[in-house]
Amino acid sequence: MFQVGFVRGVVCLLALVCVIAALIGCREPVVHGEAVQRAPNAAGSGREEKAPQPNRSLPDLTYQGAPVGLTEDGYPFWGNSDAPVTLEEYSDYLCPFSARHFDQTLPTLAEKYIATGQVKYVFRDMPLASLHPGAPKAHAVAQCVAEQGALLFWRMHDELFRTRAQWDRLPDPADYLTDVAEQIGANMEAYKACVASGRKEAQIQSSIAAGRALGFEGTPSFRFIQNGSGKAYMLIGAHPVETFVQWIDALVAGQAPPQGQPAEAKPQELPFWANPKGLAPDPQRPGFTLAGDPYKGNPQAKIAVVEFSNFQCPPCRQHTIEAQPTIDQALVDSGQILWVFKNLPLKSLPQSTAAAVAAECAGQQGRFWEMHHLLFESQGQWAVDDPGSALLQLAEKLSLNMEQFGACLGSQQALDRVMSDLADAQGVVSTAPTFIVLDGQKGAVYRGPRSGEQFVSLLKGFLDRVNVGEKTGSTSAGY
């Protein structure tokens, strides 16, 4: 997969970004879960294999006005160890929704509950390696820093979230993470020895297994423990700060947290390109949605898949050539799903923008999908320093009106449509290919190629859930 490398000169649709970020969360590709609120479980859900014990000989310190320390299992906590509520966060440093929690929700929790002694906040590792390959290494180095004291851990924790955009795009973030550890004051000899030993991997895997045992498949996920009663409550997915306030206030008061959608939480809406209105067919442009995106399949389908892709990206080609025919045959051609395409041009693949414009221009003549397939099929022919002549040859092969096609290639209008897709992606999509599965109210994000059979199974799972929901009238809090 390839990281987005340029956004300058593009208008970022921040309002849309904030909305969809509230509706989707990080999860492993084969899992499609909802943000749910579960009934009380026993506080203990299986014994965890203990990681090597960190150094606890250091004096207790405070971070941002609250005590910090390590649990018996070696996990860092922040707040009063005798607080009436323990809140465990299972998180991934590279998950944008964990980052959203860090940016928007945790500061309020720190001021209102952690600093006042009402909540003991525990950080648990749950890197989703299949989505964020660099995350496990970041979690390991943070735990190595934790061996030198919880204060250093929380400094490292904050810096990893704050600088995630810098180290996420690196092929190997090891040197960058080492620099961060040094900047926050870690003993580098001890740090490097810990990292080289690999001894934190077992602790991280143990934390992941504990999260799975609780039913957590995505991040961020939370376990609230009412220390007086020993009851535990699970909250999964991206939720506004009002939800946490309601839950914590209830638990501190000795009550169960409210179930269902919080009254203060306003209903969220998907951005235009992802909601039913934007996905409706444009009567003036057959084959395109009202949001301006090419589609195939049934516009009335219960499930829509929006694919962000790049014509020069090898994994994108792999998906199109190997997996898409199986998906089309099983679900698209039969009218069970709607499939929508959006461009994700990348600086690291400089010819991808020209190819995207060529596809848009072919779409003006009603041949988008034919050009789409040719571009992926002949990727090696046009992905050269000057792709112009090769793109014209593809247009001739499709018997397009060459005068009209040539004029379109040089027009600002076609380029603007490609850049509009890039703007839609900001804050939501950073790799190609990425697939957003929508059921009209919610969205789930899946990154990277997988086999056609895996994709069909995944989408059939969504269809089954929608069908069951229609029969039972059930709803959810969203992703």
What's the distance, Cα to Cα, between the start and end of the chain in Å?
A: 24
Amino acid 431: pLDDT = 85
CA distances for 387 relative to 175, 380, 383, 405, angstroms: 37, 10, 6, 15
Residue 266 has pLDDT above 60, yes or no: no
Q: What's the whole-number average pLDDT of the chain? A: 83
pLDDT, tens digit, 9 for 90 and up, residues 364-420: 999 999 999 999 999 999 999 999 999 999 999 999 999 999 999 988 888 888 988
Q: Which residues of 120-142 are buried (b: 16+ CB within 10 A; e: fewer)?
A: bbbbbbbbbeebbbbbbbbbbbb
Secondary structure of residue 68 in the 3-state scheme: strand
Q: For 11, phi and psi rounded to 5 degrees?
A: -75, 120
Which is more confident, 1 or 290?
290
Single pTM value for the model: 0.52
CB 155 within 8 A of CB 68: no
CB 433 within 8 A of CB 339: no
Is 400 buried (19+), middle (13-18) or exposed (0-12) by CB count in 10 A? buried
**DSSP label at residue 52:** P
CA distances for 215 relative to 182, 223, 236, 237, 267, angstroms: 36, 11, 9, 12, 26
Amino acid 170: pLDDT = 86
CB 200 within 8 A of CB 51: yes
Amino acid 72: pLDDT = 86
Lowest-pLDDT range of 6-20, 21-35, 148-162, 413-427: 6-20
Which residues lie across from 341 on neighbouring strands? 307
Q: Which helix (H) or strand (E) holds 219?
A: strand 218-219
Amino acid 470: pLDDT = 56
Q: Which band of pLDDT confidence, cut at 50, 70 and 90, is reported for residue 461?
A: confident
Q: For 437, phi and psi rounded to 5 degrees?
A: -95, 125
Q: Which band of pLDDT confidence, cut at 50, 70 and 90, is reported for residue 439?
A: confident
List of domains in the chain: 32-252 (3.40.30.10), 272-472 (3.40.30.10)
As a whole number, mean pLDDT of residues 114-136 equals 92
Nearest to 152 by CA among 76, 221, 209: 76
Residue 34 has pLDDT above 80, yes or no: no
Residue 24 has pLDDT above 60, yes or no: no
Report the Cα 287 to chain-centroid distance in Å.
29
As a whole number, mean pLDDT of residues 116-131 equals 92
pLDDT, tens digit, 9 for 90 and up, residues 53-101: 444 434 458 899 899 999 988 899 999 999 999 999 999 999 888 999 9
- For residue 128, give both structure tokens: 């989703």
pLDDT, tens digit, 9 for 90 and up, residues 333-358: 999 999 999 999 887 898 999 999 99
As a whole number, mean pLDDT of residues 179-198 equals 96
Amino acid 41: pLDDT = 39
